[in-house]
Amino acid sequence: MSDKIIIFDTTLRDGEQSPGFSMNLQEKLEFAFQLKRLGVDVIEAGFPISSPGDFESVKAIAQQVDGPQICGLARAMDKDIDRCWEAVQHSKNPRIHTFIATSPIHVEKKLKKTQQEVREIAVNAVKRAKQYTDNVEFSTEDAARTGRDYICEVVEAVIDAGATTVNIPDTVGYSNPWEYGALIEYIFEKVPNVGQAIISVHCHNDLGLAVANSLAAARMGARQIECTINGIGERAGNASLEEVVMNIKTRRNFFPFHTDVNTEQIYPASRLLTRFTGISVQPNKAIVGANAFAHEAGIHQDGVLKERTTYEIMSPQSVGRSGNSMVLGKHSGRHAFVSRMKELGFALDDAALEKAFAAFKNLADLKKIIFDEDLLVIVDEQSRASDYARYNLEDIFIRIGQDKKPSASIRLRVDGDILEGSGTGDGALDAAFSVIKNLTNMEDAVLVDYHVGAVTRGTDALASVNITISAGGREAIGRGADTDVIRASIKAFINAINHCCFENGQVKPTEV
């Protein structure tokens, strides 16, 4: 048996479908290129039948991102499988991933089928997919709560039908390493044709054991692990790619495997995802959290200064953290700017670089010192000002007086036209948001969450604002940054409105 663990990244499918983590086509494509640089083996790019937007995203990734296998998800239904193939066929290495639930509660309550009927549906789905490609993955949804013998029946049947990868998901994060490892071991013992396929695992983190369960399964013979950057995904998330990979790399004596992941691209991938979603990882998050390599206790600092390995089992550089922060200012030139951008993991084309450098110079006129965090915001701002954004802020005027109701005048650009409006509110932002809702015909938008923070230190620091709005039965997150808090907040609100426009009509697939 090979000692290579196939890394199957589902950030753009399972991760992206969780609340607040949606991305537009341009962002998905850029993130897929980062996954290629990271060296993942398989990119699950989306669920093509779920919406026209998801189909186009999967298709674009399949057309433009070579190297990794490009995979699409499909229910065990002909129309899903056909639509999935339409999207992934453009890849040099396409994969169809189809699934059906196998646990008693799903079979009886959700599907209202018998176990025999489900097994037949699974086999027919694999055969349908096999007409398009030899690279077919099948998943037994909610496998951890399925009887072992029935799981083995289904696994044997779908391998006979042509599945080359069979996934055994812990869909609801119910299992533990001892139980889950024993299930994988049982499958290898009881399924006679198991050697004809790769056994994969897809673990959710509801009880905080997704990574542990995945690694336990690998020790029992699983050779593909499905995971996401920063561990994002449904509910409490999926197994964290960075934690899985660094466990294998750091503890080779215990996990005698290897991956093809370029670990120095882990931190850039994490930051890119944070930039696109506006949702940061907690400071104590393993591998990529702000405190992952921080030492505050005196005895720890003393030990690290004398010998790094006293308190660090891996180096920051091994996961792409430079260990230093270059300070730029208004006199810094293009070479220093470009160099730092590359060190931060950005691969900008000439046009994007020009815009980012111009924004850097503008910010340098307002701030004495530009930190790495400021550079991340600059690139983020440029991405939000890209062509996909329907509404763009042209100008604002806010009036606040001691005895007068706050008022706002807003000018937006949309499709080459200018929209203008004015109004009042209980406060400056209430007035501005009300005008924007009126101009964009989004009167039903409700502010759900609002966070503001300083990107760096000092009174001239950029203000970073994250806003969540609810409109049309769905939520969208907007992000904005500016040296002025009110402008940053208005930018974030418009960004959320743009996300609502992008997500309109998108439906959420059943999870695996």
Res 506: pLDDT: 39
> How far is the C-alpha of 171 from the C-alpha of 320, rounded, in Å?
31
pLDDT reported for residue 254: 93
The answer as to whether 38 is a domain residue is yes
User: Is 348 a residue whose pLDDT tops 80?
Assistant: no
Confidence at 508, pLDDT banded by 50, 70, 90: very low
For residue 329, tell me if it sits in a domain. no
339 and 476 co-located in one domain? no
* pLDDT score, position 155: 98
Helix (H) or strand (E) holding 486: helix 485-503
| pLDDT over 90 at 327, yes or no | no
Average pLDDT of the segment spanning 284-306: 67
pLDDT of amino acid 384? 58
* Domain harbouring 419, CATH code: 3.30.160.270
438 is in an annotated binding site: no
For residue 387, pLDDT beyond 50:
no
pLDDT at position 277: 78
Nearest-angstrom CA–CA distance, 86 and 59: 8
Residues 375 and 439 in one domain: no
Question: Quick check: 272 pLDDT over 80?
Answer: yes
| Structural domain ending residue among the three candidates 384, 400, 423 | 384
- Mean pLDDT across the chain: 88
Residue 296 falls inside a structural domain: no
424: confidence class by pLDDT, cuts 50, 70, 90: very high
Tell me, yes or no, whether 347 and 422 share the same domain. Answer: no
Q: What is the pLDDT of residue 315?
A: 83
What is the per-residue pLDDT across 90-109, written as a single tens digit (0 to 9) for each? 999 999 999 999 999 999 99
Stretch 259-267: mean pLDDT:
95
**Spatial CA neighbour of 40 closest among 280, 228, 287:** 228
Is there a single domain that holds both residue 493 and residue 360?
no
335 among annotated binding-site residues: no
More confident residue, 352 or 424: 424
pLDDT digits (tens, 9 = 90+) for 106-140: 999 999 999 999 999 999 999 999 999 999 999 99
Measured CA to CA, the distance from residue 240 to residue 221 in angstroms comes to 20
One domain, residues 469 and 489: yes
Q: Based on the fold, state whether residues 52 and 169 are members of the same structural domain.
A: yes
Provide the pairing of β-strand 446-454 with 463-471.
Answer: antiparallel
> What is residue 502's predicted lDDT score, i.e. its pLDDT?
63
Spatial CA neighbour of 227 closest among 253, 254, 259, 196: 259
User: What's the pLDDT at 33?
Assistant: 94
Handedness of CA 61, 62, 63, 69 (dihedral sign): positive
Q: Is 455 exposed, middle or buried (0-12, 13-18, 19+ CB in 10 A)?
A: middle
**Among 384, 413, 445, which residue terminates a domain?**
384
488 and 400 share a domain?
yes
Tally: H helices and E strands in the chain? 16, 14
3-state class of 383 per DSSP? helix
Asked, for residue 184, whether it belongs to a domain, the answer is: yes
pLDDT value, residue 214: 98
Pick from 17-21, 237-241, 315-319, 502-506: least confident: 502-506
User: What DSSP assignment string belongs to 12-26?
Assistant: IIIITTSTT----HH
- Annotated binding residue at 380? no
Strands (E), 293-406: 391-399
> Which of 252-261, 309-318, 409-418 is the least confident region?
309-318
Report which of 276, 383, 377, 267 is spatially closest to residue 20, judged by C-alpha positions.
Answer: 276
pLDDT of residue 72: 98
Predicted confidence band of residue 301 (pLDDT cuts 50, 70, 90): very low
In this structure, the chain runs to a length of: 512
Residues 95 and 236 in one domain: yes
Residue 467 lies in a domain: yes
* Residue 283 falls inside a structural domain: no
Same domain, 350 and 432: no
Q: pLDDT at position 305, please?
A: 54
Confidence of residue 507 (pLDDT cuts 50, 70, 90): very low
Residue 11, pLDDT > 70, answer yes
Alpha-carbon dihedral 81, 83, 86, 91, rounded to 10 degrees: -60
pLDDT score, position 300: 47
| 364 shares a domain with 496 | no
pLDDT tens-digit map of 448-470: 989 888 877 777 788 888 888 98
Domain of 413, in residue numbers: 391-503
φ and ψ of 230, to 5 deg: 60, 10
Q: Which helix (H) or strand (E) holds 351?
A: helix 350-366
Instruction: Using alpha carbons only, give the angle 73, 12, 53 rounded to the nearest 5 degrees.
Output: 75
Least confident of 161-170, 318-327, 458-467: 318-327
Residue 74: helix, strand or coil by DSSP? strand
**Range picked from 1-10, 11-20, 378-387, 490-499 for highest mean pLDDT:** 1-10
**Could you give the percent of the chain with pLDDT greater than 90?**
60
Question: In terms of pLDDT, which residue wins out, 409 or 351?
Answer: 409
Give the Cα separation of 144 and 150 in Å (integer): 12
One domain for residues 443 and 426 = yes
- Please give the average per-residue pLDDT across 415-429, as a whole number: 91
**CA torsion through residues 58, 62, 64, 68, sign:** positive
pLDDT at residue 306 greater than cutoff 70: no
- Three-state secondary structure of 250-272: HCCCCCCCECCCCHHHHHHHHHH
Residues 413 and 357 in one domain: no
pLDDT at res. 8 = 98
CATH of the domain at 104: 3.20.20.70
- 3-state SS class at 9: strand
Residue 310 lies in a domain: no
For the chain, the domain total comes to 3
| Region 407-428 average pLDDT | 92
Average pLDDT over residues 385-392: 67
Neighbours of 93 (CB within 10 A): 17
Q: What is the pLDDT of residue 510?
A: 46
Check the CA dihedral 121-126-130-133 and report its sign: positive
Q: Are 96 and 137 in contact (CB under 8 A)?
A: yes
**Whether the predicted model's global pTM rises above the 0.75 cut:** yes
Cα 505 off chain centre by: 20
State what percent of residues in the chain have pLDDT above 70.
90
Mean pLDDT of 478-489: 89
Residue 176 annotated as binding site? no
**Regarding predicted confidence, which is higher, 255 or 19?**
255
Which stretch of 215-224, 368-377, 409-418 has the lowest confidence by average pLDDT?
Answer: 368-377
Domain boundary among 384, 411, 426: 384
Q: Is residue 354 part of a domain?
A: yes
**pLDDT score for 309:** 64
Measure the CA–CA gap between 463 and 377, rounded to whole angstroms: 10
Q: 21 falls in which pLDDT band (50, 70, 90)? A: confident
Tabulate helix, strand, coil % of the chain (nearest 5): 45, 20, 35
